[in-house]
């Protein structure tokens, strides 16, 4: 879809979400090989919590509740163990984005940290931040984000 959108004259956007850096690199490479024009990559600015005792307890209780609720409705639901879940911090994707010379990066669920903004801008990357409130829009503008996309 990224390739089709770009070939039609739009800015195609490759969703990297919170994929690990290796997968990001592979997807960017494949897209670039098949498209000789700019495209954006989109990342999630997740605030990934540290795995603490409290988080483990909360996850365990939630997992038990969901599985019991599912069983009451004759549904088979199996949630993974907490230690098997890996979320990628967007900072792990920045090197890949710079290495592949991506020129447009959009992001959702918050704002990039100051160091990431500087590194991307130092590499001539246009930054597109998504906001859902006036306060978020102001924060994006004040941090130097080039384009602000308003979502409602």
Q: Tell me, what CATH number does 27's domain have?
A: 3.20.20.70
Residues 103 and 146 reside in one and the same domain? yes
Residues 44 and 57 reside in one and the same domain? no
Structural domains of the chain, count: 2
Residues 34 and 98 reside in one and the same domain? yes
* Confidence category of residue 56, pLDDT binned at 50, 70, 90: very high
Q: Is 54 left (phi over 0), alpha (psi -120 to 50) or beta?
A: alpha
Residues 104 and 63 reside in one and the same domain? no
Q: Residue 49's pLDDT is what?
A: 87
- The model's pLDDT over 57-76, given as tens digits with 9 standing for 90+, comes to 999 999 999 999 999 999 99
Average pLDDT for 113-140:
97
Residues 71 and 98 reside in one and the same domain? no
Residues 37 and 101 reside in one and the same domain? yes
CA 102 → CA 22, 81, 109, 110, 148, distances in Å? 15, 35, 20, 20, 18
Work out the widest C-alpha separation in the chain, in whole angstroms: 55
What's the whole-model pTM score?
0.85
Q: Which residues contact residue 138 at a Cβ distance below 8 angstroms, ignoring those fewer than 6 apart?
A: none
Domain span including residue 112: 2-48+88-150
């Amino acid at each position: 879809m990224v390739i089709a959108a770009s070939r039609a004259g739009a800015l195609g956007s490759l969703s990297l979400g919170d994929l690990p850096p290796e997968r990001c690199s592979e997807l960017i490479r494949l897209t670039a090989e098949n498209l000789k024009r700019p495209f954006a990559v989109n990342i999630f600015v997740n605030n990934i919590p540290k795995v603490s005792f409290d988080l483990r307890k909360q996850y365990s209780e939630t997992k038990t509740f969901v599985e019991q609720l599912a069983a009451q409705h004759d549904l088979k639901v199996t949630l993974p163990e907490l230690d098997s879940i890996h979320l990628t911090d967007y900072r792990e994707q920045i090197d890949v984005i710079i290495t592949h010379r991506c020129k447009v990066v959009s992001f959702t669920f918050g704002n990039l940290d100051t160091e990431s903004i500087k590194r991307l801008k130092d590499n001539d990357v246009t930054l597109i931040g998504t906001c859902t409130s006036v306060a978020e829009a102001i924060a994006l503008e004040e941090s130097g984000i080039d384009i602000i996309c308003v979502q409602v």
